[in-house]
Amino acid sequence: MIHTVGPVWAGGNSGESQLLASCYKNSLALAEKNGVTSIAFPSISTGIYGYPIERAATIAVNTVNNYLKQGSSLKEIIFCCFSEEDYQVYKKALAI
């Protein structure tokens, strides 16, 4: 199991975007290092930590896409959504 703790939203001017992207990058790298080929992510920091879902989804999708473009052994990456609203936001971020 890989666990990451995302940043608490503090208005967007405290490096939250970089911290959130780092959560995804470090988790992906750790998964590869351990021979994992499939990983699932919840919508990190969007619950009690208050990160706006639209911003978080964009960061998640862009970070994962950029990571994969560099070459990766990962075969499957899943974004787990806790509500229909979250699903729609991720669907838009993924442009599907």
The model carries a pTM of: 0.95
For the chain, which residues make up each domain, given as ranges? 16-94
Write down the architecture of domain 16-94 according to CATH: 3-Layer(aba) Sandwich (3.40)
Instruction: Tell me the CA distances in angstroms from 43 to 5, 71, 80, 81, one per residue in order.
Output: 11, 24, 7, 7
- Phi/psi at 2 (5° precision): -110, 130
Rounded distance, CA 90 to CA 85, Å? Answer: 9
- Phi/psi at 38 (5° precision): -140, 135
**pLDDT above 80 (res 96):** no
Question: What are the tens digits of pLDDT across the range 31-81?
Answer: 999 999 999 999 999 999 999 999 999 999 999 999 999 999 999 999 999
